[in-house]
Structure 1
Amino acid sequence: MTLSLWLSLLGASTLISFTPGAGAINTMTNSLNSGFKRSIWGILGQQAALLVHVVVVAAGVGLLVSRSPMFFTGIRYAGAAYLVYLGVRLILAKPQSPDEIDMRGQEPAFSMFRRGLWVNLLNPKAIVFFLAFTPQFIRLDQPALGQYAVFITTIVIVDILVMWFFFAAAAKSFSRFTATERGQKILNMTFGTLFIFVAALLAFIH
Protein backbone atom coordinates (compact mmCIF):
# COMPACT_ATOMS: atom_id res chain seq x y z
CA MET A 1 0.00 0.00 0.00
CA THR A 2 1.45 3.36 -1.03
CA LEU A 3 1.89 6.15 1.50
CA SER A 4 -0.70 8.38 -0.19
CA LEU A 5 -3.25 5.56 -0.20
CA TRP A 6 -2.52 4.76 3.44
CA LEU A 7 -2.94 8.43 4.41
CA SER A 8 -6.32 8.40 2.68
CA LEU A 9 -7.23 5.26 4.64
CA LEU A 10 -6.06 6.91 7.87
CA GLY A 11 -8.20 9.98 7.26
CA ALA A 12 -11.27 8.00 6.30
CA SER A 13 -10.89 5.65 9.28
CA THR A 14 -10.60 8.60 11.66
CA LEU A 15 -13.74 10.27 10.33
CA ILE A 16 -15.67 7.01 10.51
CA SER A 17 -14.56 6.31 14.09
CA PHE A 18 -15.64 9.77 15.22
CA THR A 19 -19.13 9.19 13.81
CA PRO A 20 -21.41 8.53 16.83
CA GLY A 21 -23.06 5.13 16.87
CA ALA A 22 -23.84 2.13 19.02
CA GLY A 23 -20.14 1.45 19.60
CA ALA A 24 -19.54 4.95 20.91
CA ILE A 25 -22.58 4.75 23.20
CA ASN A 26 -21.48 1.35 24.50
CA THR A 27 -17.98 2.70 25.17
CA MET A 28 -19.27 5.71 27.10
CA THR A 29 -21.63 3.51 29.12
CA ASN A 30 -18.79 1.15 30.03
CA SER A 31 -16.57 4.07 31.01
CA LEU A 32 -19.25 5.44 33.32
CA ASN A 33 -20.16 2.13 34.91
CA SER A 34 -16.77 0.44 35.11
CA GLY A 35 -14.24 3.23 34.76
CA PHE A 36 -12.08 4.62 31.98
CA LYS A 37 -9.36 1.95 32.15
CA ARG A 38 -11.70 -1.04 32.19
CA SER A 39 -13.76 0.31 29.30
CA ILE A 40 -10.98 -0.98 27.05
CA TRP A 41 -12.45 -4.49 27.29
CA GLY A 42 -15.66 -3.42 25.56
CA ILE A 43 -13.62 -1.56 22.94
CA LEU A 44 -11.56 -4.68 22.24
CA GLY A 45 -14.78 -6.64 21.77
CA GLN A 46 -15.91 -4.08 19.22
CA GLN A 47 -12.59 -4.45 17.37
CA ALA A 48 -13.01 -8.22 17.28
CA ALA A 49 -16.31 -7.64 15.49
CA LEU A 50 -14.58 -5.37 12.97
CA LEU A 51 -12.09 -8.16 12.28
CA VAL A 52 -14.97 -10.55 11.64
CA HIS A 53 -16.61 -8.06 9.27
CA VAL A 54 -13.43 -7.62 7.24
CA VAL A 55 -12.87 -11.39 7.05
CA VAL A 56 -16.48 -11.87 5.95
CA VAL A 57 -16.13 -9.25 3.24
CA ALA A 58 -12.74 -10.59 2.12
CA ALA A 59 -14.28 -14.06 1.83
CA GLY A 60 -17.05 -12.70 -0.38
CA VAL A 61 -19.84 -13.48 2.07
CA GLY A 62 -20.54 -9.77 2.46
CA LEU A 63 -21.72 -9.66 -1.13
CA LEU A 64 -24.18 -12.45 -0.38
CA VAL A 65 -25.50 -10.62 2.69
CA SER A 66 -25.93 -7.35 0.81
CA ARG A 67 -27.80 -9.09 -2.03
CA SER A 68 -30.05 -11.25 0.14
CA PRO A 69 -32.89 -9.05 1.46
CA MET A 70 -34.19 -11.72 3.82
CA PHE A 71 -30.78 -12.47 5.35
CA PHE A 72 -29.91 -8.78 5.60
CA THR A 73 -33.26 -7.92 7.18
CA GLY A 74 -32.99 -10.75 9.68
CA ILE A 75 -29.58 -9.61 10.91
CA ARG A 76 -30.70 -5.98 10.88
CA TYR A 77 -33.66 -6.67 13.17
CA ALA A 78 -31.59 -8.92 15.42
CA GLY A 79 -29.08 -6.09 15.85
CA ALA A 80 -31.83 -3.57 16.52
CA ALA A 81 -33.46 -5.88 19.07
CA TYR A 82 -30.17 -6.30 20.93
CA LEU A 83 -29.67 -2.53 21.13
CA VAL A 84 -33.23 -2.10 22.40
CA TYR A 85 -32.52 -4.73 25.04
CA LEU A 86 -29.41 -2.82 26.18
CA GLY A 87 -31.36 0.44 26.20
CA VAL A 88 -34.29 -0.90 28.20
CA ARG A 89 -31.93 -2.58 30.67
CA LEU A 90 -30.21 0.75 31.26
CA ILE A 91 -33.48 2.65 31.64
CA LEU A 92 -34.78 0.12 34.18
CA ALA A 93 -31.47 -0.22 36.02
CA LYS A 94 -31.69 0.44 39.75
CA PRO A 95 -29.53 3.38 40.93
CA GLN A 96 -26.53 2.35 43.02
CA SER A 97 -25.99 3.33 46.64
CA PRO A 98 -22.74 5.11 47.63
CA ASP A 99 -21.30 1.78 48.85
CA GLU A 100 -22.19 0.08 45.57
CA ILE A 101 -20.66 2.96 43.62
CA ASP A 102 -17.39 2.37 45.43
CA MET A 103 -17.49 -1.22 44.19
CA ARG A 104 -17.98 -0.28 40.54
CA GLY A 105 -15.82 -1.89 37.91
CA GLN A 106 -16.54 -5.45 39.04
CA GLU A 107 -18.23 -6.51 35.79
CA PRO A 108 -16.10 -9.31 34.34
CA ALA A 109 -13.85 -8.27 31.48
CA PHE A 110 -15.25 -11.04 29.30
CA SER A 111 -18.79 -9.75 29.82
CA MET A 112 -17.77 -6.30 28.60
CA PHE A 113 -15.83 -7.83 25.69
CA ARG A 114 -18.78 -9.99 24.69
CA ARG A 115 -21.22 -7.08 24.76
CA GLY A 116 -18.90 -4.96 22.63
CA LEU A 117 -18.55 -7.85 20.19
CA TRP A 118 -22.30 -8.25 19.76
CA VAL A 119 -22.96 -4.51 19.50
CA ASN A 120 -20.74 -4.29 16.41
CA LEU A 121 -21.29 -7.79 15.09
CA LEU A 122 -25.08 -7.48 14.87
CA ASN A 123 -24.82 -4.57 12.50
CA PRO A 124 -25.25 -5.78 8.91
CA LYS A 125 -24.70 -2.28 7.61
CA ALA A 126 -21.12 -2.59 8.80
CA ILE A 127 -20.67 -5.54 6.44
CA VAL A 128 -22.19 -3.59 3.56
CA PHE A 129 -20.08 -0.58 4.50
CA PHE A 130 -16.87 -2.61 4.46
CA LEU A 131 -18.01 -4.17 1.20
CA ALA A 132 -18.01 -0.69 -0.37
CA PHE A 133 -15.10 0.69 1.67
CA THR A 134 -12.54 -2.11 1.40
CA PRO A 135 -12.07 -2.21 -2.40
CA GLN A 136 -11.04 1.44 -2.38
CA PHE A 137 -7.81 0.49 -0.58
CA ILE A 138 -7.05 -2.99 -1.91
CA ARG A 139 -5.16 -3.35 -5.20
CA LEU A 140 -5.75 -6.58 -7.11
CA ASP A 141 -2.32 -6.42 -8.74
CA GLN A 142 -0.58 -6.62 -5.34
CA PRO A 143 -0.41 -9.39 -2.69
CA ALA A 144 -3.73 -9.35 -0.83
CA LEU A 145 -2.57 -10.57 2.60
CA GLY A 146 -0.20 -7.67 3.26
CA GLN A 147 -2.75 -5.11 2.09
CA TYR A 148 -5.49 -6.55 4.30
CA ALA A 149 -3.08 -6.60 7.25
CA VAL A 150 -2.31 -2.89 6.82
CA PHE A 151 -6.00 -2.14 6.20
CA ILE A 152 -7.39 -3.82 9.31
CA THR A 153 -4.48 -2.79 11.55
CA THR A 154 -5.02 0.86 10.64
CA ILE A 155 -8.78 0.68 11.19
CA VAL A 156 -8.49 -1.13 14.52
CA ILE A 157 -5.76 1.12 15.98
CA VAL A 158 -7.60 4.28 14.93
CA ASP A 159 -10.90 3.02 16.36
CA ILE A 160 -9.30 2.01 19.67
CA LEU A 161 -7.67 5.42 20.05
CA VAL A 162 -10.87 7.31 19.19
CA MET A 163 -13.12 5.12 21.33
CA TRP A 164 -10.84 5.11 24.37
CA PHE A 165 -9.30 8.57 24.34
CA PHE A 166 -12.32 10.45 23.02
CA PHE A 167 -15.60 8.69 23.82
CA ALA A 168 -14.50 6.88 27.00
CA ALA A 169 -12.60 9.96 28.18
CA ALA A 170 -15.58 12.20 27.39
CA ALA A 171 -17.75 10.04 29.63
CA LYS A 172 -15.53 10.96 32.58
CA SER A 173 -17.02 14.46 32.46
CA PHE A 174 -20.37 12.89 33.42
CA SER A 175 -18.92 10.96 36.35
CA ARG A 176 -20.15 13.52 38.88
CA PHE A 177 -23.72 12.50 38.00
CA THR A 178 -23.07 8.94 39.15
CA ALA A 179 -22.54 10.12 42.72
CA THR A 180 -26.29 10.58 43.22
CA GLU A 181 -29.26 8.38 42.48
CA ARG A 182 -30.95 11.17 40.53
CA GLY A 183 -27.85 11.66 38.41
CA GLN A 184 -27.64 7.94 37.72
CA LYS A 185 -31.28 7.87 36.63
CA ILE A 186 -30.67 10.77 34.24
CA LEU A 187 -27.60 9.13 32.72
CA ASN A 188 -29.24 5.72 32.45
CA MET A 189 -32.28 7.27 30.81
CA THR A 190 -30.10 9.29 28.42
CA PHE A 191 -27.86 6.45 27.30
CA GLY A 192 -30.69 3.94 27.28
CA THR A 193 -32.70 6.24 25.02
CA LEU A 194 -29.69 6.68 22.74
CA PHE A 195 -29.36 2.90 22.39
CA ILE A 196 -33.03 2.66 21.43
CA PHE A 197 -32.68 5.60 19.02
CA VAL A 198 -29.76 3.93 17.25
CA ALA A 199 -31.79 0.70 17.13
CA ALA A 200 -34.63 2.57 15.43
CA LEU A 201 -32.22 3.97 12.85
CA LEU A 202 -30.83 0.51 12.23
CA ALA A 203 -34.28 -1.04 11.87
CA PHE A 204 -36.17 1.57 9.87
CA ILE A 205 -33.64 3.67 7.94
CA HIS A 206 -32.08 1.65 5.14
Structure 2
Amino acid sequence: MEWSAYLSFLAIAAAVVLTPGADVAVVLKNSLMSGRRGGVAAALGVTTAVGIQGVLTAAGLGVLIAQSQPLLQTIRWIGVAYLAWLALQALRSAWRGEYSGLVDTSGVAARGYRQGFLTNITNPAVLMFYLALFPQFMTADMSVWWLGAMAMTLPALGIVQLVTLALVIDGASRWLQRRRVRRVLDSVTGVALGGLGLRVALQ
Protein backbone atom coordinates (compact mmCIF):
# COMPACT_ATOMS: atom_id res chain seq x y z
CA MET A 1 0.00 0.00 0.00
CA GLU A 2 1.39 3.40 -0.99
CA TRP A 3 1.11 6.58 1.02
CA SER A 4 -1.08 8.17 -1.65
CA ALA A 5 -3.63 5.37 -1.25
CA TYR A 6 -3.55 5.67 2.53
CA LEU A 7 -4.10 9.42 2.32
CA SER A 8 -7.22 8.73 0.25
CA PHE A 9 -8.39 6.30 2.92
CA LEU A 10 -7.60 8.90 5.59
CA ALA A 11 -9.67 11.55 3.81
CA ILE A 12 -12.70 9.24 3.63
CA ALA A 13 -12.33 8.26 7.28
CA ALA A 14 -12.09 11.93 8.31
CA ALA A 15 -15.30 12.72 6.44
CA VAL A 16 -17.07 9.87 8.27
CA VAL A 17 -15.76 11.03 11.66
CA LEU A 18 -16.98 14.59 11.05
CA THR A 19 -20.51 13.32 10.37
CA PRO A 20 -22.48 13.57 13.65
CA GLY A 21 -23.90 10.30 14.90
CA ALA A 22 -24.65 8.31 18.03
CA ASP A 23 -21.05 8.70 19.19
CA VAL A 24 -21.35 12.50 19.34
CA ALA A 25 -24.73 12.28 21.07
CA VAL A 26 -23.53 9.91 23.78
CA VAL A 27 -20.40 12.00 24.47
CA LEU A 28 -22.54 15.14 24.65
CA LYS A 29 -24.94 13.45 27.05
CA ASN A 30 -22.19 12.26 29.39
CA SER A 31 -20.31 15.56 29.24
CA LEU A 32 -23.43 17.44 30.30
CA MET A 33 -24.22 14.99 33.09
CA SER A 34 -20.74 14.30 34.42
CA GLY A 35 -18.37 16.92 33.04
CA ARG A 36 -14.99 16.24 31.48
CA ARG A 37 -14.52 12.91 33.22
CA GLY A 38 -17.76 11.42 31.91
CA GLY A 39 -17.35 12.85 28.41
CA VAL A 40 -13.78 11.64 27.95
CA ALA A 41 -14.73 8.19 29.30
CA ALA A 42 -17.59 7.97 26.79
CA ALA A 43 -15.19 9.00 24.00
CA LEU A 44 -12.79 6.21 25.03
CA GLY A 45 -15.65 3.72 25.04
CA VAL A 46 -16.70 4.76 21.54
CA THR A 47 -13.20 4.47 20.10
CA THR A 48 -12.59 1.12 21.78
CA ALA A 49 -15.67 -0.28 20.05
CA VAL A 50 -14.69 1.21 16.69
CA GLY A 51 -11.16 -0.15 17.07
CA ILE A 52 -12.47 -3.67 17.81
CA GLN A 53 -14.66 -3.56 14.70
CA GLY A 54 -11.72 -2.35 12.63
CA VAL A 55 -9.49 -5.18 13.86
CA LEU A 56 -12.24 -7.75 13.23
CA THR A 57 -12.62 -6.49 9.67
CA ALA A 58 -8.88 -6.51 9.02
CA ALA A 59 -8.69 -10.05 10.37
CA GLY A 60 -11.52 -11.20 8.10
CA LEU A 61 -13.93 -11.91 10.95
CA GLY A 62 -16.08 -8.94 10.04
CA VAL A 63 -17.18 -10.68 6.85
CA LEU A 64 -18.29 -13.74 8.83
CA ILE A 65 -20.31 -11.56 11.20
CA ALA A 66 -21.91 -9.65 8.32
CA GLN A 67 -22.83 -12.88 6.56
CA SER A 68 -24.47 -14.30 9.68
CA GLN A 69 -27.84 -12.61 9.46
CA PRO A 70 -29.18 -13.89 12.81
CA LEU A 71 -26.10 -12.57 14.61
CA LEU A 72 -26.11 -9.27 12.73
CA GLN A 73 -29.81 -8.74 13.36
CA THR A 74 -29.40 -9.55 17.05
CA ILE A 75 -26.61 -6.97 17.34
CA ARG A 76 -28.72 -4.44 15.43
CA TRP A 77 -31.79 -4.81 17.64
CA ILE A 78 -29.72 -4.65 20.82
CA GLY A 79 -28.32 -1.39 19.50
CA VAL A 80 -31.80 -0.07 18.68
CA ALA A 81 -33.06 -0.90 22.17
CA TYR A 82 -30.02 0.69 23.82
CA LEU A 83 -30.30 3.90 21.80
CA ALA A 84 -34.01 4.07 22.64
CA TRP A 85 -33.22 3.68 26.34
CA LEU A 86 -30.61 6.47 26.23
CA ALA A 87 -33.05 8.67 24.32
CA LEU A 88 -35.76 8.14 26.94
CA GLN A 89 -33.28 8.99 29.69
CA ALA A 90 -32.39 12.29 28.03
CA LEU A 91 -36.01 13.20 27.26
CA ARG A 92 -37.10 12.33 30.81
CA SER A 93 -34.34 14.57 32.16
CA ALA A 94 -35.50 17.41 29.87
CA TRP A 95 -39.14 16.92 30.94
CA ARG A 96 -38.35 16.98 34.66
CA GLY A 97 -35.81 19.77 34.44
CA GLU A 98 -34.29 18.78 37.77
CA TYR A 99 -30.54 19.42 37.72
CA SER A 100 -28.25 19.47 40.71
CA GLY A 101 -25.01 20.28 38.91
CA LEU A 102 -22.35 17.95 37.62
CA VAL A 103 -22.21 14.44 38.99
CA ASP A 104 -18.85 13.57 40.52
CA THR A 105 -18.77 10.00 41.77
CA SER A 106 -16.51 7.02 41.29
CA GLY A 107 -18.99 5.49 38.84
CA VAL A 108 -18.96 8.35 36.36
CA ALA A 109 -16.06 7.10 34.23
CA ALA A 110 -17.31 3.50 34.16
CA ARG A 111 -20.83 4.57 33.16
CA GLY A 112 -19.56 6.90 30.44
CA TYR A 113 -17.21 4.28 29.03
CA ARG A 114 -19.93 1.62 29.08
CA GLN A 115 -22.45 3.83 27.29
CA GLY A 116 -19.94 4.88 24.65
CA PHE A 117 -18.80 1.31 24.06
CA LEU A 118 -22.26 -0.26 23.87
CA THR A 119 -23.62 2.50 21.63
CA ASN A 120 -21.03 1.78 18.97
CA ILE A 121 -20.30 -1.95 19.34
CA THR A 122 -24.01 -2.60 18.63
CA ASN A 123 -24.06 -0.28 15.61
CA PRO A 124 -23.75 -2.40 12.42
CA ALA A 125 -23.12 0.75 10.37
CA VAL A 126 -19.54 0.94 11.66
CA LEU A 127 -18.80 -2.64 10.65
CA MET A 128 -20.46 -2.13 7.27
CA PHE A 129 -18.37 0.99 6.69
CA TYR A 130 -15.21 -1.02 7.23
CA LEU A 131 -16.42 -3.87 5.02
CA ALA A 132 -17.33 -1.46 2.22
CA LEU A 133 -14.12 0.55 2.39
CA PHE A 134 -11.36 -1.94 3.22
CA PRO A 135 -11.56 -4.02 0.01
CA GLN A 136 -10.97 -0.92 -2.08
CA PHE A 137 -7.57 -0.40 -0.49
CA MET A 138 -6.45 -3.91 0.41
CA THR A 139 -4.02 -5.88 -1.76
CA ALA A 140 -2.81 -9.46 -1.60
CA ASP A 141 0.69 -8.41 -0.50
CA MET A 142 -0.40 -5.79 2.04
CA SER A 143 1.65 -5.95 5.24
CA VAL A 144 0.10 -6.36 8.66
CA TRP A 145 1.34 -2.87 9.53
CA TRP A 146 -0.75 -1.26 6.80
CA LEU A 147 -3.75 -3.34 7.85
CA GLY A 148 -3.27 -2.16 11.41
CA ALA A 149 -2.93 1.45 10.30
CA MET A 150 -6.20 1.24 8.37
CA ALA A 151 -7.99 -0.44 11.27
CA MET A 152 -6.84 2.19 13.76
CA THR A 153 -7.31 5.28 11.59
CA LEU A 154 -11.01 5.73 12.32
CA PRO A 155 -10.70 5.32 16.12
CA ALA A 156 -7.63 7.60 16.18
CA LEU A 157 -9.50 10.38 14.38
CA GLY A 158 -12.59 9.72 16.46
CA ILE A 159 -10.83 10.01 19.83
CA VAL A 160 -9.38 13.40 18.84
CA GLN A 161 -12.78 14.70 17.76
CA LEU A 162 -14.75 13.34 20.72
CA VAL A 163 -12.26 14.30 23.44
CA THR A 164 -12.12 17.80 21.93
CA LEU A 165 -15.92 17.92 22.11
CA ALA A 166 -15.89 16.82 25.75
CA LEU A 167 -13.28 19.46 26.65
CA VAL A 168 -15.19 22.21 24.84
CA ILE A 169 -18.38 21.30 26.67
CA ASP A 170 -16.49 21.22 29.97
CA GLY A 171 -15.03 24.65 29.25
CA ALA A 172 -18.49 26.07 28.66
CA SER A 173 -20.03 24.16 31.56
CA ARG A 174 -21.07 27.25 33.51
CA TRP A 175 -23.34 28.38 30.67
CA LEU A 176 -24.39 24.88 29.63
CA GLN A 177 -25.46 23.97 33.17
CA ARG A 178 -28.18 26.61 33.19
CA ARG A 179 -31.51 24.89 33.61
CA ARG A 180 -33.07 26.24 30.43
CA VAL A 181 -30.00 25.40 28.34
CA ARG A 182 -29.75 21.90 29.84
CA ARG A 183 -33.38 21.19 29.05
CA VAL A 184 -32.90 22.24 25.43
CA LEU A 185 -29.72 20.20 25.06
CA ASP A 186 -31.27 17.14 26.71
CA SER A 187 -34.26 17.44 24.39
CA VAL A 188 -32.05 17.70 21.31
CA THR A 189 -29.86 14.81 22.49
CA GLY A 190 -32.89 12.64 23.22
CA VAL A 191 -34.45 13.31 19.83
CA ALA A 192 -31.11 12.69 18.09
CA LEU A 193 -30.57 9.36 19.88
CA GLY A 194 -34.14 8.31 19.18
CA GLY A 195 -33.79 9.25 15.53
CA LEU A 196 -30.55 7.32 15.24
CA GLY A 197 -32.19 4.29 16.83
CA LEU A 198 -35.05 4.52 14.36
CA ARG A 199 -32.63 4.78 11.45
CA VAL A 200 -30.76 1.67 12.60
CA ALA A 201 -34.08 -0.15 13.02
CA LEU A 202 -35.11 0.70 9.46
CA GLN A 203 -31.76 -0.21 7.87
- Shorter-normalised TM-score: what interval? 0.7 to 0.9
Q: How does 1:163-182 map to 2 (within 5 A)?
A: 163-166=162-165, 169=168, 176-180=175-179, 182=180
Structure 2 counterpart SS, 1:35: helix
| Correspondence for 2:103 | 104
Query: What number of residue pairs does the alignment pair up?
Result: 200
Question: Contact 2:169/2:176 (CA < 8 Å) preserved in 1?
Answer: no
Partner residue of 1:157?
156
Deviations 1:85-124 (A, max 9, x none): 0010111135444xx31x4343521221111110100012
User: More displaced, 132-141 or 4-13?
Assistant: 132-141
> Partner amino acid for 1:116?
G
In 2, are the aligned partners of 1:177 and 1:183 still within 8 Å (CA)?
yes
Q: Are residues 59 and 150 of structure 1, via their aligned partners in 2, closer, same or farther at CA, if it must alter by over 3 Å? A: closer
Question: CA 1:108/1:22 → structure 2, altered by over 3 Å: closer, same or farther?
Answer: same
- The reply to whether residue 23 of structure 1 matches residue 28 of structure 2 is no
Equivalent-residue separation in structure 1 for 2:116 and 2:11 (angstroms): 24
CA distance in 2, matches of 1:135, 1:165: 31
Shift of 1:190: 1.7
SS in 2 for 1:92: helix
Q: How far apart, in 1, do the equivalents of 2:173 and 2:193 lie?
A: 17
**2 CA distance for matches of 1:170 and 1:185?**
15
Query: In 2, are the aligned partners of 1:63 and 1:131 still within 8 Å (CA)?
Result: yes
RMSD: 2.3
Percent of residue pairs bearing the same amino acid type? 25
The residue aligned with 1:119 is 119
Match of 2:90 in 1: 90
Which residue of the partner structure matches residue 184 of structure 1? 182
The alignment status of 1:35 with 2:32, answered yes or no, reads: no
Q: Is the Cα contact below 8 Å between 2:32 and 2:169 reproduced in 1?
A: no
TM-score using structure 1 length = 0.85
Inter-partner Cα distance in structure 2 for 1:90 and 1:38: 15
- Conservation of the 8 A alpha-carbon contact between 2:55 and 2:151: no
Give ranges in structure 1 of 5+ residues lacking alignment. Answer: none
